[in-house]
Structure 1
Amino acid sequence: MAARILHRLRHALAGEGGREEPAGGGGEAEDCPESSELEDDTEGLSTRLSGTLSFTSHEDEEEEEEGDGASEELEEPPQAPGTAAGTEDGGRCWGGELGGLQGHSCAGGVRQPDRCQSPVPTEGTDHPSPTEWVSAAERPGSSLLTRQLQELWRRSRGSVAPQRLLFEVTSASVVSERSSKYVLYTIYLIRSGQFDKAPATIARRYSDFEQLNRRLRCRFSCDMAGVAFPRKRLRRNFTAETIAKRSRAFEQFLSHLHSIDEIRRSPEFLEFFFLPDLQAAQRLTCTGMYREALATWANAYRLQDRLGVCSSGRFLLTLAGLAVCHQELDQLSEAHGYCEQALQLLEAQGSHPLLGPFLQAHVHLAWKVGKDKRRSEARLQDLREAGLPLQQQPSLKECLIKEPLE
């Protein structure tokens, strides 16, 4: 488009230069005084026009000679509809004198005629006036590039953008025990583009990372060939410099592992995050420390949610732990909600060791809180007719305590 306008301007100037001046018109020799400025600054004008006009027509598209301006605009990210860059003519209209081609931003993406459409007389020339340039944006097929970006934006809003999981070491503390001394690293799991009110956290020491690295290299030797791991040191393990370097190294180590599909879905990688919490929560539940267990079950829930494993057997066990602890703490509505969530996951499964216990717990809790329990009762009846001895089924709490977690 810029090349086409420049061609018209040059053609107009050439035609004006070859035209005879009217006789006796010393003071009227210049009908268009800005033409001399355009003629002297042809290259400068070309530079200013390149990549600034954001609308084209279909016939301009066929004759376009310069691609630099278009390629630069294609690299710009699409903006949301309603912003200045998302308007019909790119959120910018052009006016002023031809010599300057001053661009005015239109507030709210709406063209302002009093500021942006100030026609200048162009008698005796065949190049378009600013009004013609502005009206070109209103022709069918104009703003082709901007419309393509808007269409890309609409399509991207309808698609699910992949979320990136970030690993951030937020603190590190030196722990001294009777026979050992080590550094404990606290790591947050953060989903990009979201704000988590309650973060998912883990606390691991160097030996935990080393064990994960060793297990993954045994199983995924090829994938792990390019993954770096901080080496062990014999001295200066507890200096601030060493702790800071290892913190950054562990962040990069986990991010690299998570970027590899096979490793990201492997039990070795996943259980590194939430299995210690499940084991601790189970011990606390067995000893009747339900409030402490509830916090640990909740963190295990968030960890599995961040890692995208909310349909596994471990996640069902986590829901059972949350339901049992809430029930024991007399928080019946919360316990009922976790039972419902588990039953939704078990909807497509005809049989599961936890299906009967979850149904029985859901019926009991629904009766307590005054919720509808007919669907669960119907599913229990189906299990009885299928020959499942529900009277011999363990309760949800018994299943939770007896589940082996290794």
Structure 2
Amino acid sequence: MAARILHRLRHALAGEGGREEPAGGGGEAEDCPESSELEDDTEGLSTRLSGTLSFTSHEEEEEEEGDGASEELEEPPQAPGAAAGTEDGGRCWGGDLLTRQLQELWRRSRGSLAPQRLLFEVTSASVVSERSSKYVLYTIYLIRSGQFDKAPATIARRYSDFEQLNRRLRCRFSCDMASVAFPRKRLRRNFTAETIAKRSRAFEQFLSHLHSIDEIRRSPEFLEFFFLPDLQAAQRLTCTGMYREALATWANAYRLQDRLGVCNSGRFLLTLAGLAVCHQELDQLSEAHGCCEQALQLLEAQGSHPLLGPFLQAHVHLAWKVGKDKRHSEARLQDLREAGLPLQQQPSLKECLIKEPLE
């Protein structure tokens, strides 16, 4: 590919210079095969272009700093009198410095101005063999564009899970789903590398298309496809006392809901309850206290909620343990008592998790 680029540059430069024939005067072909070495022509091209040929990646170009900005940066508009040879006695009032400052400002603001999208990337696919079935399990990362996630949100789904989602959405959103493609079933060769690779790309495009449609993106069918299995698994692990495993699953469910933008729903409050309980059982009291605080901020504007009393009681207890201020929560509890809420009969956060039906 690089050889072809050099070949085109050679032709363009030869055209500008009057199409000079190569030394030797022969009619040698100008064709440059892909196997040609780059170093033969790089130095000559650099000289004629009065610059430097750079084959660094885009990420490396963004990290370069110094006197010269990357050639791909747009040239900012030049201020009046900044160019050399101005009418004002030829004086320059710091044009080079201003240019570098504008370029640096543009470089920093470029990431913040770009709209963020949610990307779906199949990172791996494995063939799973069970007693009565064999299937491919696809691992998918949910990534915000322009950001690096130290702990990405992940799901693992098989073809039948995608097929069920497709069927449910077509029943409810027949018009919107008319233009959405879905990979068809195959009678054989389902486990070949070619089929798995094609389906991986198809599932990425399928989820991206669904997420681009407002009504579908907010629908329970679409949202629960991502985080409901994790909530159910975390609930089972918490009920059986496997708090460390449950904590990891609750945390992934938290990240999934955060990426999908549903951090004010009842399921998200239940997720915070699960995190608080597991942190407390693992003697991570500061983390448990932080989960309760986040939940109470979401419940601040609500006069009543089934989880409000349990969260307030847990927050008061944890705040006393870690030495944090608990007066606001105690005042809210007093308001609930005066309103006639029997706090003594309120279940704990752990009891709420066990009793909550997740279907």
Q: TM-score, normalised by structure 2?
A: 0.72
Contact 1:78–1:152 (Cα < 8 Å) also in 2: no
Of the structure 1 ranges 34-43 and 211-220, higher mean CA displacement relative to structure 2 is found in 34-43
Instruction: Indicate the SS of the match to 2:107.
Output: helix
Task: Encode CA deviations 1:49-106: one digit per residue, 9 max, x unaligned.
Answer: 99999999999x9999999999999998999999999999999999999xxxxxxxxx
Distance 2:17 2:133 in 1: 92
Contact 1:304–1:310 (Cα < 8 Å) also in 2: yes
Distance 2:28 2:170 in 1: 87
Change (3 A) 1:52 1:392: same
Task: Encode CA deviations 1:159-183: one digit per residue, 9 max, x unaligned.
Answer: 8753101100000000001100000
Contact 1:169–1:188 (Cα < 8 Å) also in 2: yes
**% identical equivalent positions:** 98
Change (3 A) 1:366 1:146: same
Distance 2:31 2:187 in 1: 87
Change (3 A) 1:80 1:232: farther
Change (3 A) 1:90 1:303: farther
Distance 1:20 1:233 in 2: 59
Please state how far the C-alpha of 1:6 moved relative to its aligned partner. 34
Contact 1:79–1:86 (Cα < 8 Å) also in 2: no
Distance 2:68 2:91 in 1: 15
2:325 counterpart residue number: 372
Of the structure 1 ranges 16-25 and 229-238, higher mean CA displacement relative to structure 2 is found in 16-25
Instruction: Indicate the SS of the match to 1:314.
Output: helix
1:139 counterpart residue number: none
Contact 1:165–1:192 (Cα < 8 Å) also in 2: yes
Of the structure 1 ranges 27-36 and 76-85, higher mean CA displacement relative to structure 2 is found in 27-36
Task: Encode CA deviations 1:192-226: one digit per residue, 9 max, x unaligned.
Answer: 11111001100000000000000111111111111
How many residues get paired? Answer: 359
Change (3 A) 1:84 1:313: farther
Instruction: Indicate the SS of the match to 2:71.
Output: helix
Contact 1:4–1:64 (Cα < 8 Å) also in 2: no
Contact 1:55–1:89 (Cα < 8 Å) also in 2: no
Contact 1:356–1:393 (Cα < 8 Å) also in 2: yes
Contact 1:168–1:187 (Cα < 8 Å) also in 2: yes
Distance 1:38 1:206 in 2: 45
Higher radius of gyration, 1 or 2:
1
Contact 1:90–1:146 (Cα < 8 Å) also in 2: no
Change (3 A) 1:234 1:29: closer
Task: Encode CA deviations 1:306-359: one digit per residue, 9 max, x unaligned.
Answer: 111111110000000000001011111110010000001111111111000000
Task: Encode CA deviations 1:336-388: one digit per residue, 9 max, x unaligned.
Answer: 01000000111111111100000000000000111110000000001111111
Q: What's the Cα RMSD here?
A: 12.8
1:76 counterpart residue number: 75
Change (3 A) 1:207 1:374: same
Contact 2:82–2:94 (Cα < 8 Å) also in 1: no
The answer to whether structure 1 residue 46 and structure 2 residue 67 are counterparts is no
Change (3 A) 1:79 1:235: farther
Contact 1:324–1:397 (Cα < 8 Å) also in 2: yes
Task: Encode CA deviations 1:9-44: one digit per residue, 9 max, x unaligned.
Answer: 999999999999999999999999999999999999
Please state how far the C-alpha of 1:402 moved relative to its aligned partner. 0.5
Task: Encode CA deviations 1:114-143: one digit per residue, 9 max, x unaligned.
Answer: xxxxxxxxxxxxxxxxxxxxxxxxxxxxxx
Distance 1:50 1:342 in 2: 61
Contact 1:163–1:192 (Cα < 8 Å) also in 2: yes
Distance 2:146 2:317 in 1: 40
Change (3 A) 1:231 1:148: farther
Contact 2:4–2:34 (Cα < 8 Å) also in 1: no
Instruction: Indicate the SS of the match to 2:198.
Output: helix
Instruction: Indicate the SS of the match to 2:337.
Output: helix
Distance 2:79 2:353 in 1: 48
Contact 1:258–1:264 (Cα < 8 Å) also in 2: yes
Please state how far the C-alpha of 1:256 moved relative to its aligned partner. 0.6
Change (3 A) 1:348 1:90: farther
Change (3 A) 1:348 1:48: farther
Change (3 A) 1:175 1:49: closer
Distance 2:32 2:162 in 1: 77
Change (3 A) 1:43 1:308: closer
Counterpart of 1:194 (choices 138, 147, 154) is 147
Contact 2:81–2:88 (Cα < 8 Å) also in 1: no
Please state how far the C-alpha of 1:271 moved relative to its aligned partner. 0.6
Contact 1:304–1:315 (Cα < 8 Å) also in 2: yes
Change (3 A) 1:378 1:245: same
Change (3 A) 1:373 1:379: same
Contact 1:2–1:53 (Cα < 8 Å) also in 2: no
Contact 1:323–1:338 (Cα < 8 Å) also in 2: yes
Which 5+ residue runs of structure 1 have no aligned equivalent? Answer: 98-143
Change (3 A) 1:267 1:384: same
Contact 2:3–2:33 (Cα < 8 Å) also in 1: no
Instruction: Indicate the SS of the match to 2:141.
Output: strand
Change (3 A) 1:58 1:188: closer
Distance 1:264 1:185 in 2: 21
Q: TM-score, normalised by structure 1?
A: 0.64
Distance 1:24 1:388 in 2: 100
